[in-house]
Amino acid sequence: MSILIDRTTRAIVMGATGSEGSFWTGHMVQLGTQVIAAVTPGKEGERVGDIPVYHTVHRALNARGPADAAMLFVPPRFTKDAVFECLDAGIKLIVTVADGIPLHDALQIRAAARASGTTIIGGNTSGIISPGKAMLGMFPYWIERVYKPGRIGVMTRSGSLTNEVTAMVVRAGFGVSTLVGVGGDPVPGMRFAEVLAALELDPETDAAVMIGELGGTMEEEAADMIRSKAFTKPLVAFVAGRHAPQGKRMGHAGAIISGGKGSALDKIHALQSAGALTADRASMVGTLLAEALAHFAPPRGITA
């Protein structure tokens, strides 16, 4: 089992006719994703590999049947319109990789998604993958060496760190049930606490790995989930940015310390006090994960 996507997920891709979109759409199909249609205004009748292209989401669904998810390779300034088109068509999972979606657009996207019961992944994300089942996003071609099927849920705000940390999970002898890149923008569509809630309910996820960074409050929210017993499985966290200066943006729009809050050390202390294990270096994640699982006793009535 996995969360959000699996072999049965039927997806459309908006922007699949562009160079990035066509490249990654082909890769998603190779990894088992059911891509039923592509959408690019003005290019109906074309094909991306074996996938037909339509002007609009509604035309695609009318021709190809219902879709569970949409993958958006759409520039930031057009992302809100693309998301709203998917919402109007009733699609319940939307992944957008755009970096730098205008803040007001991001706020409207999250509000509209929550009102309609839709899950948004991103922006500024590599996407989501359930290894051996499906992918919506941009994970590298040497994926088989890093993203192997298993029982560890991974959630991340980073891109490059994701590959490194997940490689440490695999090196320690584990695999991934589902990896969710929540993204590095200030207003993500899905937050860490929401991912943890889904992983808690997944009977084939035994533990979680969090790849966090400075800025925002998502890591502290995850600590609150553990403290309140809303998440009861082992959690190992690696939080980047220990030595970042205050007031300096570090890569992502959401990675900034402001108002004396959001430092990596604050997040680490919050997670440790809640009972999570925290890695000083990415190379420690696999070892800590093995330690956490070796000592984990599931709550009574729960089978790990």
| φ and ψ at residue 142, rounded to 5 degrees | -85, 30
Q: Which residues pair with 180 in a beta bridge?
A: 128, 155
CB-based contact 117:5 (threshold 8 Å): no
Catalytic residue among 27, 252, 269, 295: 252
**Which of 28, 223, 10 has the alpha carbon at shortest distance from 139?**
28
Residues 6+ apart with CB under 8 A from 298: 232, 233, 304
3-state secondary structure string, 121-132? EECCCCEEEECC
Nearest to 166 by CA among 180, 146, 196, 148: 146
Burial of 205 (0-12, 13-18, 19+ CB in 10 A): buried
Tokens of 216: 């925002």
CA distance 44 to 54: 4
- Helix axis angle for 76-88 and 103-116, nearest 10°, is 10
> How far is the CA of 80 from the CAs of 84, 101, 191, 253, in angstroms?
6, 8, 18, 18
252 is annotated as an active-site residue? yes
Residue type, 72: L
- Which residues are catalytic, by number? 252
